[in-house]
Amino acid sequence: MNEEKSFSKKELLNPDKMILMYARGAFPMADESGEINWYFPEVRTIIPLDDFNIPRSLKKFLSVSDFKYKIDSDPLAVIKSCAHRETTWISEELISAYNGLINAGHLHSVEVYRGDELVGGLYGVTYRGAFFGESMFSKVEQASKCALVKLVHRLIEKKYTLLDVQYQTDHLKMFGAKEIPLDEFEKILYASYKSEISFN
């Protein structure tokens, strides 16, 4: 990508440069050595907001669950919980960069609590009408799935156009996630920029 070649890797972690890269459809990941690179795959996975599926068993769980949900109450805790696994692409340097996006108002989280304990959640980056999903975690069964449902409800309520989830997984497929070619992704991406939307 031309933008990546124009800036040093350190500069690309400044909030304004990060948003520029996300706006082009790229996303960062750290490798095993901790080096952060930007990725722009030829096939992308989205969850269509007009065709979102909630599995029947999850609907039943949602109706009886004692979970409590919050928005942006502790995004750094969500990010660190997502990073807390044996193998992670979320390095300390990337967490620091994400903190810059939080302060700039471009990174948002959905938190799931049981009592006072954070038991699940997700986070992503926003730009205009696009939400770029990054990662999710669960400490108890169903917590991340419930967070995703709450996220989609928020995005629909706010009239977002795009929910990008980067890569297909079985976990996401049950919600209607689908892979699309890059040219189709870019059409949706650029259409999403026609709207100025606030996540909160």
User: Residue 174 is part of a domain; what is its CATH number?
Assistant: 3.40.630.70
Q: Is residue 77 part of a domain?
A: yes
pLDDT band for position 1 (cuts 50, 70, 90): very low
Q: Is residue 23 part of a domain?
A: no
Q: Are 38 and 28 in contact (CB under 8 A)?
A: yes
Q: What digits encode the pLDDT tens for the residues 142-158?
A: 999 999 999 999 999 99
Q: Is residue 12 part of a domain?
A: no
Whether the per-residue pLDDT at 121 is higher than 50: the answer is yes
Q: Is residue 109 part of a domain?
A: yes
Q: Is residue 25 part of a domain?
A: no
Whether the per-residue pLDDT at 6 is higher than 80: the answer is no
Strand partners for 71: 110
User: Looking at residue 86, what is its pLDDT?
Assistant: 87
pLDDT band for position 9 (cuts 50, 70, 90): confident
Mean pLDDT across 2-23: 81
User: Looking at residue 2, what is its pLDDT?
Assistant: 44
pTM of the predicted model, to two decimals?
A: 0.94
Q: Is residue 15 part of a domain?
A: no
Q: What percent of the chain has pLDDT over 90?
A: 91
What token pair was written down for 49? 């907001």
Number of domains in the chain: 1
What token pair was written down for 177? 């996630």
Whether the per-residue pLDDT at 18 is higher than 50: the answer is yes
Whether the per-residue pLDDT at 93 is higher than 80: the answer is yes
**Beta strand pairing call for 162-166 and 43-46:** antiparallel
Instruction: Return phi, psi of residue 118, to 5°.
Output: -75, 115
SS (H, E, C) the chain: CHHHHHCCCCHHHCHHHHHHHHHCCCEEEECCCCCEEEECCCEEEECCCCCCCCCHHHHHHHHHCCCEEEECCCHHHHHHHHHCCCCCCCCHHHHHHHHHHHHCCCEEEEEEEECCEEEEEEEEEEECCEEEEEEEEECCCCHHHHHHHHHHHHHHHHCCCEEEEECCCHHHHCCCCEEEEHHHHHHHHHHHCCCCCCCC
pLDDT band for position 193 (cuts 50, 70, 90): very high
pLDDT band for position 7 (cuts 50, 70, 90): low
* Domain range enclosing 128: 42-192
Q: Is residue 199 part of a domain?
A: no
Q: What digits encode the pLDDT tens for the residues 164-185?
A: 999 999 989 999 999 999 999 9
User: Looking at residue 147, what is its pLDDT?
Assistant: 98
Report the half-sphere exposure of 85 (CA within 13 A, side-chain side).
15
Q: Is residue 13 part of a domain?
A: no
What token pair was written down for 171? 């976990």
